[in-house]
Structure 1
């Protein structure tokens, strides 16, 4: 008996579900699209739900869990008073429909977030093209396709460490798309490629080391050995990690994501590493303590200091409303060979999260990176390099970064 093209396609798809790599590649395309790049919340929710599903934890995708782990809400927060998850999911659904309804994306693997669920499904593009109706584009209550005939299949991924692997998978995907458009075909290396070369050229596994914000700890949830379970990250660290993973994508580089308390000196000696965050990351504080620019606390005031200046020039936070509404943050971007560990290191660290995010934009956006390198000598690739970054903060969002000072040695 002959099958219709659609029925045959569905049968073939059921036998060959999309691979994890294919789903992540499609996620990268989505996150690079203007429908998602112009928001912080939309890519966070989309990447978080996709990665949890790929890890085999789709059953954990509940409103409160997403609010706590993806958006940093307190475990006891009122989901009715703060519907951030519901409103963000509704907007993500609309944007996914808009994306796939555009004929430019015909033939791409489909990622959907159906109404009434936070569990994404992955489908054959032909099936969606048949099921997607024009009226669905503006209807939040329209189902994309029939659930009876289009059950999704998920490729499982082993999970060896709850916090680090969750962070790794979320952060690999999250905002990797932000830099996808900057990945070039082989040719003359750009400044971006030259800047990241010590990290990307290695055959060793790269370590991404993040600090642990105090408010990320749920003291009521513990690991079997009684230690607090860390299940939440600052959005600024998520953005920074994802942007710094982008250069590894075309290199197929191996890497791990750890917290500063989960890694020791011996492990840092195994290969290059990237440090994210300052005052909540003990390794950043240790490695920058002898650099020209570093972080210090004076009378409970956190500062970026210039140790080479005669009068010890410094930069500290500026507030519109004291300690409640931030106006300016400062950060350090460093690309050094650490003599203690013997490894190349990149440091992206702000006094607060807004500064860290601004630092990540410098090393992921060619315009800002070139502005920093203009202040460095022509042979900067052969030197250690460190810079101080300033960012204006508007409504808790980091503005474009400005390079204030550069040192090389």
Structure 2
């Protein structure tokens, strides 16, 4: 059991931790959910039993979320997403002044082993008042940050605005995504590989991507119309500019970049997702199924070869690649950085950009440009 020991009070005992657990799970932050209380209860009870070796992503996925033992943790991040939400809800719980003097149950980032500790000292009425003031101050600061982001995203001549200008000619802009993932599954010798279609429940990631893009377009007086790839025909794509999100979970994205220099390829024999370079066939960027230390994404701004309509493709090999590419296309600093290295007139040319991002603890890092092509 991982215990942080304060200077004065003794370490919390098992009964105290269990009582605090029940208090937390009965709070508004947890009582209306099944998934997050189940995860928190599991990791707390396993830690109290001394069974921290069971607190691995795959074990939790099987025991708590009823996944198959062989499930692909890279394609189905249910444990990482749930743990992230549990951390947020615990923070929300302890932010309330009424809980300030209670025993802490914490779930540090990068581990599924919780920590238990007492607050350093009892909270006085004056300190409680100060905490309430800090909560309000934090809320005001957050509002200021949101306003600042909105101002930063206002239409102008930034490199980011120049990138998006060709698809800003109509509103709403069609944004096509998908939620199903194709996972190659090996079959007995002599048979061809097949694809098993699963629903990885990546709705939190999808929501983050959608929210960032919607916020950028809204700041520019435009809206997005969301649609699933399975419901979209080529005839519909001929009518106005569009955005394709996803790679191997969006067949329209794969088909739309198939004839370009950089294109998407699924190596089913070796269970590897790839971005390949048609000009230099020996060059490719790989993301195997399973745990990733690095993810990649292909960003395209060009006419769709079959319809002639302007498109933007945001295609991560994994979901973290897509998330990093979305950050690249909504945070002005990344496109400004790209513009300083891009050839003259890049903003008026068709573009393909290959991005790389480090993956650690289930989170993605900053997107970096590793290859680019314009024509």
* TM superposition score normalised by structure 1: 0.53
> What secondary structure is seen at the aligned counterpart in 2 of 1:387?
strand
Contact 1:389 1:403 in 2 (8 A): yes
Query: Structure 1 residues 185, 349: CA separation in 2 closer, same or farther (over 3 Å shift)?
Result: closer
CA distance in 1, matches of 2:146, 2:372: 29
Task: Tell me the alpha carbon deviations over residues 251-272 of structure 1, each in whole angstroms, 9 at most, x when there is no partner.
Answer: 3323211111122222222322
> What secondary structure is seen at the aligned counterpart in 2 of 1:63?
coil
Q: 1:135 aligns with which of 114, 128, 131?
A: 128
The equivalent of 2:257 in structure 1 is 288
Query: Structure 1 residues 382, 325: CA separation in 2 closer, same or farther (over 3 Å shift)?
Result: same
Contact 2:256 2:305 in 1 (8 A): no
The equivalent of 1:278 in structure 2 is 247
* Residue 191 (str. 1) matches residue 184 (str. 2): no
CA distance in 2, matches of 1:388, 1:90: 37
Contact 2:153 2:216 in 1 (8 A): no
The equivalent of 1:208 in structure 2 is 175
Q: 1:373 aligns with which of 336, 339, 350?
A: 339
Shift of 1:241: 2.3
The equivalent of 1:233 in structure 2 is 202
* Residue 249 (str. 1) matches residue 218 (str. 2): yes
CA distance in 2, matches of 1:284, 1:339: 12
CA distance in 2, matches of 1:304, 1:274: 19
Query: Structure 1 residues 263, 94: CA separation in 2 closer, same or farther (over 3 Å shift)?
Result: farther
Shift of 1:185: 4.9
The equivalent of 1:304 in structure 2 is 275
The equivalent of 1:354 in structure 2 is 320
The equivalent of 2:33 in structure 1 is 63
CA distance in 2, matches of 1:358, 1:408: 21
The equivalent of 2:78 in structure 1 is none
The equivalent of 1:89 in structure 2 is 89
Query: Structure 1 residues 185, 263: CA separation in 2 closer, same or farther (over 3 Å shift)?
Result: closer
Query: Structure 1 residues 328, 85: CA separation in 2 closer, same or farther (over 3 Å shift)?
Result: closer
* Residue 387 (str. 1) matches residue 340 (str. 2): no
Structure 1 gaps, min length 5: 1-60, 98-132, 145-175, 216-227
> What secondary structure is seen at the aligned counterpart in 2 of 1:209?
strand
> What secondary structure is seen at the aligned counterpart in 2 of 1:326?
coil
Q: 1:363 aligns with which of 321, 324, 329?
A: 329
Task: Tell me the alpha carbon deviations over residues 111-150 of structure 1, each in whole angstroms, 9 at most, x when there is no partner.
Answer: xxxxxxxxxxxxxxxxxxxxxx9837758xxxx9xxxxxx
Structure 2 gaps, min length 5: 1-30, 39-60, 67-81, 98-125, 137-144, 183-196
Task: Tell me the alpha carbon deviations over residues 217-274 of structure 1, each in whole angstroms, 9 at most, x when there is no partner.
Answer: xxxxxxxxxxx9x894343333222222232112332321111112222222232211
Task: Tell me the alpha carbon deviations over residues 165-193 of structure 1, each in whole angstroms, 9 at most, x when there is no partner.
Answer: xxxxxxxxxxx95993563556x511111
Query: Structure 1 residues 67, 350: CA separation in 2 closer, same or farther (over 3 Å shift)?
Result: farther
> What secondary structure is seen at the aligned counterpart in 1 of 2:323?
helix
Shift of 1:353: 0.8
* Residue 336 (str. 1) matches residue 302 (str. 2): yes
